[in-house]
Structure 1
């Protein structure tokens, strides 16, 4: 109860300052009243919708809509609040000067609000408002094929030029547009890669979420060197309250079987050798291991009998695994493929120049390719979306990695 009261208090504080900005721009009574009524209705709807969240069901289309509406309404208002609150600090400072220093001058102790400041606030607030609308209407299905070449001096000769397609974080329970998903599958097939790897989170929670999309994902063509996958944190069903342990276990078994149904080999703390010509590489797949999430991944078990000199590609859903266990591991994992972060589905990317997201304050490796000690991790930005039904700046990704023998040119 306390947290709901605190949330409402914060929202009312934001609403108060947003209204101050609106009132500065117009004195029309009908406009002010309309603004207050609409704001109140939206606030009541959002709070009510969140109170109806069912922890035995988890995320639904309704919760996606509510989260999108919350961000759409309150992120711009937070911008307004910061602008207007900043002006109040200025007004308080000027008022103090007027009272203590300029008391003999005929001037108002507390300066009135300036219309120009409110205009600037609304201009700045329009940026996240329009961005969030774009993210919901277009961004969430604006699939991008990102290509990356990675060089290894000890790559077996036969694998020079070997191409891997990676997808991650499908979150099929969020999808609502078959045409867009079929388009993404066509993009995957067009890459003509040697192998495809899926690095976890096939659903949000329930295995049934994937059932409407099984035929669609079965359209992913057979790859010459296989289709492999691992589990992500959402695949364990740990974010809802189950009626019984058996119901949770049955759901987990059904989720694992989904991979078979879309013709992917699910790797559960194990490895397989991929052979080509006279060379071979070891593909290692671990269950989820996250610094702040489920730690079911077992590198030791997955890598039994592998040698340090074996060329290894590791699939591990959460990039924090690479940071805390993999990059310094004596077994030497040459390339790790991860996902999980989604780039927070919100950020700014100018390829080759600038990359920013709130994700970088949580994960050291959060999107793209990273290297330390000659070992690499690639973090896929995710195929689907979760919580916020959109993507701004950080687009859904299909990755194509080409392995090359040799050193990267400076």
Structure 2
């Protein structure tokens, strides 16, 4: 028996119980069989589509648009059902308490109090919020580009770089794109920032170099006055696919690296460049991917060879776990690190000044935005594109603009 059969049976049982439970809310609120069974049929169709995607998934093809949409639809119907289950479970607990209290006080065992209609109405009303959010996230949220601006001050910043601006983008994931007009809008928004340099912090594709074929003419329009620099991300190595021959993976990796040059980026592979202005300079360091639990190809010592400790340094490293485990306490002192990778899981709740939450925070200590420890900073860009889930809910695609200031 294939290894996936038993987990699939368990999952089917869980889904069946969930559907039985949530169906009660519709049954309590609506007497229309059309409404009730339409809801049930839509759910069954989504589950069947997802299971077909799982069973037919091929690592030689990677994630197709159809697979991503299957994931998106499953989340769209599943998250709202969690809201319904939580409320109905709470009501059931209350009903059982009443029954137990009645049995103790009167000595008689009575039937459970009937499910109250208004509780089911509240459950369905609250469930409609995440349902609408996920629909929006799939249709429009993934193109809801946000420009986030930071001003960072450093005592050891050379005077000539006071006011120097950086635009950071990350995680393009071109293999997921479907709408050229929307992507062009995002690229135009990047160019409107008119920063001195542009830094791309990895994952230009999902797996294969040819994913960029239809998007080269869009991304080669990116502009920066003092140059464009880039690094690789974990997806750029082709590690998440089965290749027919080992040489195919090697050839693909070379093609991925060639993409950067074709769209005007200087790809840093464990190396550095000095940026010079008015006789002063800062070091731009770029490492290959280093991630906790992921490919650890990056060699920070190699990338920093011939750089002085007292030099002001900007480090590009795709995975923020590199900063957490290797960089932030490094005595060589990397003043500013730029990362991506997490996407903020593309799902969360962010209200500036009030709340910033995503399941991603339970995996990465630095999962989105700007962080500071030991007088050193890291910015974790939420990503320009999307992957796996074909949308964004509450965690929007990001264009970061950082202005360096002399303290």
Q: Tell me if TM exceeds 0.5.
A: yes
Contact 2:349 2:395 in 1 (8 A): yes
Deviation at 1:92, TM superposition (A): 2.2
- Structure 1 residue 11 and structure 2 residue 15: aligned? yes
Deviation at 1:46, TM superposition (A): 2.3
Instruction: Measure the CA separation in 2 of the matches of 1:126 and 1:225.
Output: 48
Match of 2:340 in 1: 339
Instruction: Measure the CA separation in 2 of the matches of 1:134 and 1:38.
Output: 18
Distance 1:367 1:86, change over 3 A: same
Give the 3-state SS of the residue equivalent to 1:101 in structure 2: helix
Pairing partner for 1:66 from 59, 65, 70: 70
Pairs within 5 Å for 1:336-375: 336-375=337-376
Match of 1:155 in 2: 157
Match of 1:327 in 2: 328
Contact 1:99 1:109 in 2 (8 A): no
Match of 1:90 in 2: 94
Deviation at 1:108, TM superposition (A): 3.5
Question: Over aligned residue pairs, what C-alpha RMSD do you find?
Answer: 1.4
State the Cα deviation string for residues 72-105 of structure 1 (Å, max 9, x = none): 111111211222222222222222222233335x
Match of 1:280 in 2: 281
Pairs within 5 Å for 1:177-326: 177-221=179-223, 223-326=224-327
Match of 2:138 in 1: 136
Match of 2:113 in 1: 111
Give the 3-state SS of the residue equivalent to 2:106 in structure 1: coil
Instruction: Measure the CA separation in 1 of the matches of 2:373 and 2:249.
Output: 39
Distance 1:145 1:34, change over 3 A: closer
Pairs within 5 Å for 1:26-65: 26-65=30-69
Deviation at 1:23, TM superposition (A): 1.0
Which TM-score applies when normalising by structure 1?
Answer: 0.95
Which TM-score applies when normalising by structure 2?
Answer: 0.96
State the Cα deviation string for residues 196-229 of structure 1 (Å, max 9, x = none): 00000000111110110001101112x2321100
Give the 3-state SS of the residue equivalent to 1:212 in structure 2: coil
Contact 2:194 2:225 in 1 (8 A): no
317-326 vs 243-252, greater mean Cα deviation: 243-252
Aligned length: 403
- Structure 1 residue 77 and structure 2 residue 56: aligned? no
Mark the runs of 5 or more structure 2 residues left unpaired by the alignment.
Answer: none
Contact 2:83 2:126 in 1 (8 A): yes
Give the 3-state SS of the residue equivalent to 2:78 in structure 1: helix
